[in-house]
Amino acid sequence: MTRTLVVVGHGMVGHRLVEALRDRDERDTWRIVVVGEEPRPAYDRVALSSYLDGKSAEDLSLIGQDLLDDPVVRFRLDTAVAAVDTGQRAVTLDSGESLGYDALVLATGSRPFVPPVPGRDLAGVFAYRTIEDLDAIREAATEGRDGVVIGGGLLGLEAANALRLLGMRPHVVEMAPRLMPLQVDEGGGQVLGALVGELGLTVRCGAATKSIHGTERAEGVELADGTVIDTGLVVFSAGVRPRDELAAPSGLDTGERGGFLVDERCRTSAEGVWAIGECAAVAGRCYGLVAPGYSMAEGVAEQLLELGEGTFPGADMSTKLKLLGVDVASFGDAHGTTEGALEVVYANNADGTYAKLVLSDDAKVLLGGVLVGDASAYSVLRPLVDRELPAPPEQLLLPAGSGVDSGALPDEATVCSCNNVTKGQITGAIAEQELTDVAEVKACTRAGTSCGSCVPMLKTLLDECGVAVSKALCEHFAQSRAELFEIVRATGIGSFSELIARHGSGRGCDICKPAVASILASLGNGHILDGEQAALQDTNDRFLANMQRNGTYSVVPRVPGGEITPDKLIVLGEVAREFGLYTKITGGQRIDLFGARVEQLPRIWERLVRAGFESGHAYGKALRTVKSCVGNDWCRYGVQDSVAMAIRLELRYRGLRSPHKLKSAVSGCARECAEARGKDFGVIATEKGWNLYVGGNGGFTPRHADLLAADLDDEELIRLIDRFLMFYVRTADRLQRTSAWLESLDGGLEHLREVVVEDSLGIAAELEAAMQRHVASYSDEWAAVLDDPGKLARFVSFVNAPDAPDPTIRFIEERGQIRPDPVALPMPSFGARNQEVHS
């Protein structure tokens, strides 16, 4: 007989319960009704900050179409439960509708805690909890202004990063004497504070908020010491409180500090009612991490399907995070509260790293630890908690974790704490299911599907099981990108069709075609729109411009080093005015012109080329910009001519096709105004010359670049950059940034230094010669199109009406410029030149 389960709350934990039930309920014994207050189904709240860094709500969504189409699951979203009648086994919705149930699971989660600070109800004051919260924060953010985050814990730092992504200057106010007081100790907090301070955050620890000033909206934040921060945007991230407001009117017991009081099987005081996740007080304690909630959900699913006792095994509160690009991890007894516990600490303030191991009183058993700045050892150390150390403590810390490998872990050690998956379960699945890569391991075991911190260990366990992970570029080429590069270079193959005929199979795909096109371009095989090569390109490369959301294109001329004459500035303004384009000065020190229709591109390029501009390659996997400060010509702190060096580097490497886009910067002194350490290769001036940094990255996964060589003269600097770039172009995987490439290299930075600086492989002269061939063969891609009628014929909206504009493209005016009309946005066309006009 089919029974009815009502799940109140559709967050991550409520969703896990539904998934667990549907995965195991082979006879469809439960009909499930999910009631959620938010207007959208469950999404990854752990990755919420990524919503402001390029991900969409759809990217964060946890629900698949199969579950939406499941006939036994019904979702009631944008709906609240007003009351629960445990006697009649019914819930009343805010609409007045009553739903009967055989079993009820409360997964109502938590709400942000907003302390009773005067002014907290003003406009411009936000919580940081939902996608709607982030939409509101984005709308209220003002680029270049100060923003205040009250709370310096995990969510507080995420909120601060969100403001930083929106162009604001974040201030973090934390009452405790250090950041993340629950996860890290005093030493780790000091290192963390210094690292995030370098990233532009103003951190105020040991500070209380007295009030928020303003009449109708926030105008400033006053601290207890009298300091006033001028701001119109305040975000509270001072912790959460369990959503248990249904308890009192329903007669359900609550914990001393809130939450539905439940036993070890997550059962409340009412028959047939369970509570899971942040709203559940197991033996009086609520857990604010997703992993314990998932464990509760799995246990309740077992009980509902009568598959076991479903006892909550306790919570692993270990965490591994990357906050603003800074690694932070804690595990086990991180604060050394165990009686007799010993601590082994390694701190390197120069490198910005801190590591602490907490050991038993005989120094043999690992009890816990803290890692800041470098958490690479986490995946090995955390499963060893409460086990005897396989190596001396100093080998585990110097360098982090190098003294122990996965072979030291027993099979029962938990590798994925989010989903409670052990090493034995993973290796067993690899052997029994013949898994061959990380994606298959994740799909089969759930390991690595939540926070992702255990993914490096999954790769290690695959190796341990003797599985050779495929490096094939795609189904059409068994070789990696690096291997294909060497094949093309050694054989002189000049076309995709010849390469796939001799070394591949089939006709190719949207993975291998652009990758091979990039290889051919890197080796100087003509213009990217010549002959067969044109069909291989991604859309942006195909039109030498970036397609925008309404089907128009942006035109980005090169401005080497950010230096531009008044005459050229005037030309850009005239072109923008003549063609009705939107203009924007970007973070890469360029002026972008948006809103150009495809048939307008050649005419725009003609004007720009005539004025001395050339393609800025904003559309290509190539060098984008070399950013610079003003250097010693103007700045009183400058010690070298950073502008001249930036121009020299940009003109040298312009047009260099590579596995992924390349960004660079040159700073004229250690104050680092050009942000060189966030670039693929960055140069910082010293009194003795230049320091070269490599492998940096901004964006979704920020990474500080590493120092490759110091105090170089001009020629030494350029010689090493030549070698570095050509080594990267030859050996990196498809779409692999230099940051990921460097981390994937066997031997890492030291191996790179041996190859590039010390010439350990004896290929330095060859790499330099390859770069010199690129420099000598460079030509502007825009100008080449203008000189070729065949190429020009590609730039039309409609093949049978070359001069007709696309009628679906419409604009509205905002702040004195055009922007796409949101009502009229078409789906971007990836083959605009093939469209026909229909009257």
Name residues whose C-beta falls within 8 Å of residue 21's C-beta, 6 or more positions apart in sequence.
5, 30, 32, 301, 304, 305
Tokens describing residue 325 = 């690009």
Distance CA(177)–CA(163), nearest Å, equals: 23
Specify whether the CB–CB gap between 623 and 653 falls below 8 A: yes
Residue of 169, 164, 150, 157 lying closest to 207 (CA atoms): 150
Tokens describing residue 561 = 């080093």
Specify whether the CB–CB gap between 255 and 281 falls below 8 A: yes
Which burial class, exposed, middle or buried, applies to 714 when counting CB atoms under 10 A from its CB (0-12, 13-18, 19+)?
A: middle
Tokens describing residue 245 = 């407001």
> In this predicted structure, what is the pLDDT of residue 824?
53
Torsion over CA: 420, 423, 426, 428 (sign): negative
In a 13 Å sphere around the CA of 189, the CA atoms on its Cβ side amount to 21
* CATH number for domain 125-238, candidates 3.40.50.450, 3.40.50.300, 3.40.640.10, 3.50.50.60: 3.50.50.60
> In this predicted structure, what is the pLDDT of residue 831?
39
* CATH number for domain 622-779, candidates 1.10.760.10, 3.40.50.11030, 3.40.640.10, 3.30.413.10: 3.30.413.10
Name residues whose C-beta falls within 8 Å of residue 737's C-beta, 6 or more positions apart in sequence.
660, 661, 680, 697
∠ CA 261-267-268, rounded to 5° = 40
Tokens describing residue 150 = 């009250």
H helices of 616-747, in order, are 642-653, 714-731, 738-744
- Other C-beta atoms within 10 Å of 357: how many? 27
- Other C-beta atoms within 10 Å of 597: how many? 20
* CATH number for domain 318-404, candidates 3.10.20.30, 3.30.390.30, 3.40.50.300, 1.10.3720.10: 3.30.390.30
Q: What are phi and psi of 786, to 5 degrees?
A: -65, -25
Specify whether the CB–CB gap between 323 and 373 falls below 8 A: no
Is residue 249 within a helix (H) or strand (E), and if so which, with residue range?
Answer: helix 247-250
State the first-to-last Cα distance of the chain, in angstroms, to the nearest integer.
60
In CATH terms, the fold of domain 407-470 is: Arc Repressor Mutant, subunit A (1.10.10)
In this structure, what DSSP letter does residue 826 have? P
Which residues is 20 bridged to in the sheet? none
**Coil, helix or strand at residue 384:** helix
Distance CA(444)–CA(461), nearest Å, equals: 14
pLDDT along the chain (839 residues), means of 10: 93 95 92 95 86 79 88 94 95 95 96 92 94 93 92 88 88 92 86 85 93 94 94 92 94 94 95 96 89 92 91 80 76 88 84 88 90 81 84 65 58 76 88 82 81 72 77 84 90 90 87 88 82 75 81 90 92 94 87 90 94 92 92 88 95 94 93 91 93 85 86 96 96 88 80 92 94 93 90 72 68 83 52 38
H helices of 447-565, in order, are 455-464, 481-491, 496-503, 512-522, 533-536, 539-543
**Angle subtended by helix axes 423-432 and 455-464, to nearest 10:** 50
Can you give the three-state secondary structure of 161-225, one letter per residue?
Answer: HHHHHCCCEEEEEECCCCCCCCCCCHHHHHHHHHHHHHCCCEEEECCCEEEEECCCECCEEEECC
> In this predicted structure, what is the pLDDT of residue 405?
57
Distance CA(795)–CA(832), nearest Å, equals: 9
Is residue 343 within a helix (H) or strand (E), and if so which, with residue range?
Answer: strand 342-348
Distance CA(685)–CA(407), nearest Å, equals: 45
Distance CA(728)–CA(742), nearest Å, equals: 9
> In this predicted structure, what is the pLDDT of residue 700?
58
Distance CA(667)–CA(628), nearest Å, equals: 6
Look at the chain and count its residues: 839
Tell me whether the CATH fold assigned to 3-111+242-304 matches the one assigned to 318-404: no
Distance CA(684)–CA(444), nearest Å, equals: 47
**pTM exceeds 0.75, yes or no:** no
Query: Residue 713 is which amino acid?
Result: D
Can you give the three-state secondary structure of 693-718, one letter per residue?
Answer: EECCECCCCCECCEEEEEEECHHHHH
DSSP code string of 226-264 = S-EEE-S-EEE-S-EEE--TTHHHHT--B-TTSSEEE-T
Q: What is the CATH number of domain 543-615+780-829?
A: 3.30.70
| Cis-peptide into 399, omega within 30 deg | yes
> In this predicted structure, what is the pLDDT of residue 836?
40
Q: What architecture is the 3-111+242-304 domain classified under in CATH? A: 3-Layer(bba) Sandwich (3.50)
Query: Which residue is it, tokens 């075609």?
Result: 513
Q: Can you point out the beta strands (E) in 384-423?
A: 387-388, 414-416, 421-422
Query: Which residue is it, tokens 């992970």?
Result: 469
Distance CA(334)–CA(370), nearest Å, equals: 6
> In this predicted structure, what is the pLDDT of residue 541?
82
Which residues is 30 bridged to in the sheet? 3
Name residues whose C-beta falls within 8 Å of residue 91's C-beta, 6 or more positions apart in sequence.
6, 8, 35, 81, 83, 84, 85, 98, 99, 101, 104
> In this predicted structure, what is the pLDDT of residue 423?
87
> In this predicted structure, what is the pLDDT of residue 281?
95
Distance CA(372)–CA(328), nearest Å, equals: 5
Specify whether the CB–CB gap between 588 and 554 falls below 8 A: no
In this structure, what DSSP letter does residue 615 have? B
Distance CA(476)–CA(496), nearest Å, equals: 12
Residue of 586, 646, 584, 655 lying closest to 616 (CA atoms): 655
Domain boundaries, the chain: 3-111+242-304, 125-238, 318-404, 407-470, 481-537, 543-615+780-829, 622-779
Distance CA(268)–CA(281), nearest Å, equals: 9
